[in-house]
């Protein structure tokens, strides 16, 4: 997310209300970004409250260093490492956890991050630029089948095979090293496009999700969140992509029904094991006014679940 002065957090008031914040509670912001949600949480906390935030982007961590508050702890780590990081900080159970998924506005707007085809820049796309492989490095070695699978599965691109073939063929003339090169290749390979959408949109999205293991990170953190919440604690997740939302929806749904029992076992209804979560609300989407003011909010879906006594 961009600086607090320019970035507008999506579903900000709805998310903070959904956390049901207690002034003396302990909360986690799994995706600090530029701190929009974190600042809103701190405004509702009292002197004894505490907020722990995570981000794997070094630029976000640097921005968070400006937030001087004794109640606040910012950790440079992916949220998949939440449990071990909280243990290291001496924190056990927490009263609420917020995850604002996907890419942040600054990551798209800063050309050097290589996440957008609006700029011609090095093809990076890593959220944590201090570690891991860039998209350019992966494309330099990946086979047609691998690229096809990524673009199809993570981007839901109908022309994934044509895109993959174009990328591999282009390598014969040199590495596909910039966003401009990749966008031009995809534009020629994608024969039809959605109205108003650049033909490279789905491919760029797919490669970003893949190189950052975004769906895997989400699948790993959700059980950790559930286990860390106190009874009555809230898990609030904002998704911007159908693949993310599907994972969140299924996790909350499965955790909100009683565990399956062996077939034929006679058990009274009152004795059935209770589910670990209960759904706290229906899915929430941004209103018309917010979408007009911030088009990125159009695809946002917020889901909320509450920890039970189970």
Annotated binding site for S-adenosyl-L-methionine: 35-37, 55, 79, 100, 107
Q: Which residues are annotated as a binding site?
A: 35-37, 55, 79, 100, 107
CB burial class (10 A; 0-12, 13-18, 19+) of residue 66? exposed
Q: Would strands 229-239 and 94-100 be described as parallel, antiparallel, or unpaired? A: parallel
Tell me how far apart the alpha carbons of residues 225 and 288 are, in angstroms, rounded to a whole number.
31
Distance from C-alpha of 296 to C-alpha of 76, rounded to nearest angstrom: 26
Cβ atoms of 308 and 275 within 8 Å: the answer is yes
Dump the DSSP string for the chain. ---TTT---TTHHHHHHHHT--TT-EEEES--TTSHHHHHHHHH--TT-EEEEEE--HHHHHHHTT---TTEEEEES-GGGHHHHHHHTT---EEEEEEE-S--HHHHH-GGG---TTS--B----SSTTSS--HHHHHTT--HHHHHHHHHHHH--TTHHHHHHHHHHHGGGS---BHHHHHHHHHHH-----TT--TTHHHHHHHHHHHTTHHHHHHHHHHHHHHHEEEEEEEEEEESSHHHHHHHHHHHHHHTSPPP--TT----GGGSPPPSEEE-S--EE--HHHHHH-GGGGG-EEEEEEE---
Distance CA 99, CA 179 (A): 28
């Amino acid at each position: 997310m961009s600086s607090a002065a320019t970035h507008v957090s999506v579903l900000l008031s709805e998310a903070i209300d959904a956390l049901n914040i207690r002034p003396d509670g302990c909360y986690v912001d799994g995706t600090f970004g530029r701190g929009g949600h974190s600042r809103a949480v701190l405004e509702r906390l009292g002197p004894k409250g505490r907020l722990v935030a995570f981000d794997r982007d070094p630029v976000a961590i640097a921005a968070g260093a400006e937030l001087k508050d004794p109640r606040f702890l910012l950790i440079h780590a992916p949220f998949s490492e939440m449990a071990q990081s909280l243990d290291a900080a001496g924190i056990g159970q927490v009263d609420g956890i917020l995850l604002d998924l996907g890419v942040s506005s600054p990551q798209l707007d800063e050309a050097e991050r290589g996440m957008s085809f609006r700029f011609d820049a090095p093809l990076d796309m890593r959220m944590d630029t201090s570690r891991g492989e860039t998209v350019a490095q992966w494309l330099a070695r990946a086979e047609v089948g691998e690229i096809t699978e990524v673009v199809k599965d993570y981007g839901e691109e109908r022309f994934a095979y044509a895109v993959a073939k174009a990328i591999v063929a282009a390598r014969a003339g040199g590495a596909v090293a910039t966003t401009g090169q990749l966008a031009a290749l995809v534009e020629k390979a994608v024969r039809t496009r959605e109205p108003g959408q650049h033909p490279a949109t789905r491919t760029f999205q797919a490669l970003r999700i893949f190189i950052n293991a975004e769906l895997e990170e989400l699948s790993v953190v959700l059980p950790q969140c559930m286990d860390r919440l106190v009874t009555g604690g809230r898990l609030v997740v904002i998704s911007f992509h159908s693949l993310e939302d599907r994972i969140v929806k299924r996790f909350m749904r499965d955790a909100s029904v009683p565990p399956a029992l062996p077939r034929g076992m006679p058990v009274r209804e009152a004795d059935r094991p209770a589910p670990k979560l209960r759904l706290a609300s229906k899915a929430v989407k941004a209103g018309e006014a917010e979408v007009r003011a911030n088009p990125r909010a159009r695809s946002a879906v917020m889901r909320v679940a509450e920890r039970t006594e189970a």
